[in-house]
Structure 1
Amino acid sequence: MTDAATSKASLNKFEKFKAEKDGLAVKAEIEQFASIGWEAMDETDRDHRLKWLGVFFRPVTPGKFMMRLRMPNGIITTHQMRVLGEVLQRYGDDGSADITTRQNIQLRGIRIEDLPEIFQKFAAVGLTSIQSGMDNVRNITGDPLAGLDTEELFDTRDLVHQVQDAITNYGEGNPEFTNLPRKFNIAITGGRDNSVHAEINDLAFVPAFKGGSRESVGAHGCAPVQESQEKEFGFNILVGGFFSAKRCEAAVPLDAWVAPEDVVAVCKAVLEVYRDNGLRANRQKARLMWLIDEWGMEKFRLAVETRMGKSLRSAAAKDEIDWEKRDHIGVYPQKQPGLNYIGLHVPVGRLYAQDMFEVARLAEVYGSGEIRLTVEQNIIIPNIPDSRLGTFLAEPLLQRFSIEPETLTRGLVSCTGAQFCNFALIETKNRALATIKALEAELRFTQPVRIHWTGCPNSCGQPQVADIGLMGTKVRKDGKAVEGVDIYMGGKVGKDAHLGSCITKGIPCDDLQPVLRNLLVEHFGARPRQEVAIGARG
């Protein structure tokens, strides 16, 4: 941060401890931490700076840490998945993992004494957790079908890796980007259905063509329309999307278009402008959108151009997000003849060691040793030959990780909740599963419904992008404080994405099921199963 920016900010406690010691400095102290144990550690190192290495102290499970991995574009190998399973296996019932809404995995139950060995295991298979927490760029999301989709416009895999390598110095840690005002999210999509939820990222790149005409590929099997000339492919840029306890905003256009080869430079320039000028006095106003509000978009864009040393071209008139959002669950042909990808539904993203071993086995035996994660907390196994489909679909794991889940189960997303997270005001994952199963037993559905649960206003479960979003809160019932939710509706993903809004506040969780039942009947065409059965007999 520049002297000018520092002088403007009366340092809060976070800025003070960052000024005293960069979070990345604890990388050299891991052996010492392991030898003295978590209780003897400096509290700031334990509670905050370890997050720069992707290690999170959790007061609700003292002595059992969480680790957050970086998995660019949500792609890992079977070798990497097995290593994660081996790490969890040693912790028995305390060890579990969650697929997050940013296409990566978090491990739970980790002991500080094991960190040196764990980091060695990670390094041996190319895994890193560096800069995955606190005031850093979080996991960079990309299309889960990159390189597989028959109608994708750009394969995001290499580009996402390039951005991560620039920000993290190839996974070793990069002090240039370890002191941002707050966390920062980047997404790059090369498909037509906004699979990364571009609108909720601080910086997002969505496909768009500049110049003359091109052949437009018909969506979902429609015939191509031949146009006159080839257009130049690139990305329109969106900036400022974020969720926080104080404010939620969708990303807005920067009015800039870049070719793929300039994406890394844009990411670095935006981060440098944000790092050196972002608001730091009040952490509730430290996200990128607050800086854009203060400066105006024209000044912000000019600052980015100055950092890049060149002008940005104006945005293409329209982007190519013209499909409704896909969830990728099921069996689908790839662009490679004779190969398929299969999307497995993982209930609320929760995995255990044996699950990880089994997923790795399936990807190795039937596929190419590759596993992909989605922002809906599910798994894709690609490159399965036509000849192996029948055998794959008979595998026992698919009884739990279904390719044909029930309607509400299919669209269910949940944050960690109070079981492991000290920020959460309610328990989410187990409650979400139980509530959904009860509703599915009562109702029949004619359309998909996406229900997202989040334990607190930090919105890790992203209720604002759901058809029905549930945000944890505390409410009073019969004179006592109990767990409850605020209900959001109207979130739209895919084409014409936008955020939903709160429709009602303070519903006790014990009273939630009939409220959800009514919403599903009134707004989503659900019908009571008993009524459907009577109608069929009549």
Structure 2
Amino acid sequence: MATDPTQDDASARRPAATRKVTRHRGEGQWGMGHFTPLNGNEQFKRDDDGLNVRTRIETIYSKLGFDSIDPNDLRGRMRWWGLYTQRKAGIDGGKTAILEPHELEDEYFMLRVRIDGGRLTTAQLRAIGEVSETYARGTADITDRQNIQLHWIRIEDVPAIWQKLEAVGLSTTEACGDCPRVIIGSPVAGIAQDEIIDGTPAVDEIHRRYIGNQEFSNLPRKFKTAVSGSPVQDVVHEINDIAFVGVVHPEHGPGFDLWVGGGLSTNPRLAERLGAWVPLDEVADVWAGVVGIFRDYGYRRLRTRARLKFLMADWGPEKFRQVLEDEYLKYKLVDGPAPAEPSTRWRDHVGVHPQNDGRFYVGFAPKVGRVDGAQLAKIADVAAAHGSDRLRTTVEQKMIVLDVEADQVDALVAALEALDFQVKPSPFRRGTIACTGIEFCKLAIVETKGRAQHLIAELEQRLPEFDQPISINLNGCPNACARIQTGDIGLKGQLVLNSQGQQVEGYQVHLGGSLGFTAGFGRKVRGLKVTADELPDYVERVLRRFDEQRAEGERFAEWALRADEGALA
């Protein structure tokens, strides 16, 4: 499909009102007739659909090497196939915002494997491990969107990697780019004893119909989806572009509450309910309607305002629902109830839990999602040896083994812990997540993964009796890939001055963010920044004060929002 909607068959699928052409540039909304590209990203998407770059990768770039790659493919369209150039080693964070893209990037790629719903078989996990060992120097990170990312990928190896992944039913299709990214889903969908409704069929239907389909491969920016029928609300639905949250309608039974317009980055916004109940067999249609609105009415003039949250902020949920019903669905949605508060303060499924079929699932905690290819293969082997063929990743950078017979649970737990994957981790290992950081990311200013692992070790040693749920989110830049605004302790990487007046790596501190209960963004105390070296001391100090001052049953987020500034310093 050509990306100009006035010249392709896709325009015939859109309501007539969205095809009216005007002379005003406006915000670059196709639905208002504003089709002229208003920035370089919109231009390269119009020139050629991102999905088409695969052919050039296979037939040209993988054969002629890195220097043969067209710049608009290298820094644009290749994202549609999960490929980003990684940061060149040795460039410090002070140069992140100064250097040009070609000066920051190495001749290697990050490759993101798309894992919808976090669902993996042992064969698939083993294949990712083999790709990591063969082509990615053993690297592998479990992300907070249930994907697995590899590094040090050469363009010459990409076709072989695709062949290896696709042979077991995996892909990198639209893992990045201005398109529908991975669909995150409850990692215990279909097996949890307390599940309201299994969203797996909806995830599969959305993927079957629309992923890799040029109908939605040119959106204003990325589009993030969450589907979960779990009462523990395990997919951070409040910060996705669209989310379907399990609820029970008093007349129609189990279905989903529809949320739209969430997102973080430098302008965070919580999603809003449209007040609509969606049955399972209509989820894919409603999803397509919301994505259609984003495609046609989303703002394409400025990249900084191109996310769906900005349109929702301007329209509001009432207008958004009306346009969805009148122009896209052509029917009225059923009014429905809001979801109840989560049933537990930990929503990561770590530990041993009964399934609805008499077997058990076992959730375990890598440190901030950092694993390696050999470990992934060992996890697959351990799962298989204990009778399981299914695993899941979670949005907390954790993993789960499903379908474990009762007499195999203890042996599986022992085998995982022998690999240093704890089933009963400390609150610090359990609750800490981190983005990629300056090691590989061109946007990063500071290091994250190693520093988070060091912080966990320090806190475990210093606070061995601490037993409260705590989320510590480390991010290497302001873009919030590690959800800094919604963690109990959110740490935004930046350069700060130490006591000697030297510029060093450090973090701006956000305190008291929360999702799932009373959702809200963390509190920023004026001037509260810590150097990387001071970080363990600072976190220890704040957690001790919380332990001393908290009321019975009070969560850290609640305490942090009421505490005086002196207690937070």
1:17 to 30, 37, 44: 44
3-state SS in 1 of match to 2:533: helix
2:559 aligns to what? Answer: none
2:483 to 462, 466, 470: 462
1:328 to 349, 353, 356: 349
1:516 to 539, 542, 548: 539
Deviations 1:180-205 (A, max 9, x none): 11111111110111110111111111
Cα offset, 1:501, TM superposition = 3.0
Cα offset, 1:384, TM superposition = 1.0
Is 1:56 aligned to 2:84, yes or no? Answer: yes
Question: How far apart in 2 are the matches of 1:394 and 1:244?
Answer: 39
Q: How is 1:422-433 mapped onto 2 (pairs within 5 angstroms)?
A: 422-433=442-453
3-state SS in 1 of match to 2:125: helix
Letter of the structure 1 residue corresponding to residue 493 of structure 2: G
Is 1:194 aligned to 2:226, yes or no? Answer: no
2:62 to 30, 34, 38: 34
C-alpha spacing 1:476/1:114, structure 2 compared with 1 (3 Å):
same
Q: How is 1:167-182 mapped onto 2 (pairs within 5 angstroms)?
A: 167-168=210-211, 173-182=212-221
Question: How far apart in 1 are the matches of 2:452 and 2:277?
Answer: 41
CA RMSD in angstroms, aligned pairs only: 1.9
Q: How is 1:62-461 mapped onto 2 (pairs within 5 angstroms)?
A: 62-91=106-135, 94-168=137-211, 173-212=212-251, 231-245=252-266, 247-305=267-325, 306-316=327-337, 318-324=338-344, 325-337=346-358, 339-395=359-415, 397-443=417-463, 444-461=465-482
Question: How far apart in 1 are the matches of 2:313 and 2:488?
Answer: 28
Letter of the structure 2 residue corresponding to residue 298 of structure 1: E
1:531 aligns to what? Answer: none
2:15 aligns to what? Answer: none
Question: How far apart in 1 are the matches of 2:514 and 2:315?
Answer: 29
Moved more, 443-452 or 175-184: 443-452
Letter of the structure 1 residue corresponding to residue 505 of structure 2: E
3-state SS in 1 of match to 2:245: strand
Contact map agreement 1:257 1:314 (CA 8 A) in 2: yes
Contact map agreement 1:54 1:67 (CA 8 A) in 2: yes
Question: How far apart in 1 are the matches of 2:434 and 2:510?
Answer: 14
Letter of the structure 2 residue corresponding to residue 453 of structure 1: L
Question: How far apart in 1 are the matches of 2:537 and 2:171?
Answer: 44
3-state SS in 2 of match to 1:181: coil
Contact map agreement 1:193 1:495 (CA 8 A) in 2: no
Is 1:498 aligned to 2:537, yes or no? Answer: no
Deviations 1:68-97 (A, max 9, x none): 1221110111111111111111247x3311
2:74 to 19, 26, 46: 46
Question: How far apart in 1 are the matches of 2:134 and 2:230?
Answer: 40
Cα offset, 1:321, TM superposition = 4.0
Letter of the structure 2 residue corresponding to residue 210 of structure 1: H
Question: How far apart in 2 are the matches of 1:420 and 1:59?
Answer: 5
Question: How far apart in 2 are the matches of 1:84 and 1:239?
Answer: 33
Contact map agreement 1:445 1:525 (CA 8 A) in 2: no
3-state SS in 2 of match to 1:120: helix
Question: How far apart in 1 are the matches of 2:129 and 2:417?
Answer: 16
Contact map agreement 1:349 1:377 (CA 8 A) in 2: yes
Letter of the structure 2 residue corresponding to residue 58 of structure 1: Q
Question: How far apart in 2 are the matches of 1:159 and 1:175?
Answer: 20
Cα offset, 1:399, TM superposition = 4.5
Question: How far apart in 1 are the matches of 2:455 and 2:82?
Answer: 32
C-alpha spacing 1:471/1:335, structure 2 compared with 1 (3 Å):
same
1:530 aligns to what? Answer: none
Deviations 1:141-188 (A, max 9, x none): 1111112211111112222111122221xxxx2111111111111111
Moved more, 105-114 or 7-16: 7-16
Letter of the structure 1 residue corresponding to residue 530 of structure 2: I
Deviations 1:402-436 (A, max 9, x none): 11222211211111111111111110010011122
Question: How far apart in 2 are the matches of 1:341 and 1:106?
Answer: 24
Moved more, 517-526 or 435-444: 517-526
Letter of the structure 1 residue corresponding to residue 88 of structure 2: V
Contact map agreement 1:194 1:495 (CA 8 A) in 2: no
Cα offset, 1:41, TM superposition = 1.2
Question: How far apart in 2 are the matches of 1:430 and 1:56?
Answer: 21
Moved more, 409-418 or 444-453: 444-453
Letter of the structure 1 residue corresponding to residue 193 of structure 2: T
Contact map agreement 1:446 1:526 (CA 8 A) in 2: no
TM-score for both structures, normalised by structure 1: 0.89
C-alpha spacing 1:396/1:42, structure 2 compared with 1 (3 Å):
same
Cα offset, 1:367, TM superposition = 3.0
Question: How far apart in 2 are the matches of 1:433 and 1:350?
Answer: 9
Question: How far apart in 1 are the matches of 2:512 and 2:427?
Answer: 18
Letter of the structure 1 residue corresponding to residue 162 of structure 2: F
2:9 aligns to what? Answer: none
Moved more, 16-25 or 54-63: 54-63
Letter of the structure 2 residue corresponding to residue 277 of structure 1: Y
Contact map agreement 2:196 2:247 (CA 8 A) in 1: no
Contact map agreement 1:33 1:113 (CA 8 A) in 2: yes
3-state SS in 2 of match to 1:185: strand
Question: How far apart in 2 are the matches of 1:239 and 1:291?
Answer: 10
Contact map agreement 1:88 1:109 (CA 8 A) in 2: no
Cα offset, 1:525, TM superposition = 4.4
Contact map agreement 2:80 2:173 (CA 8 A) in 1: yes
3-state SS in 2 of match to 1:510: coil
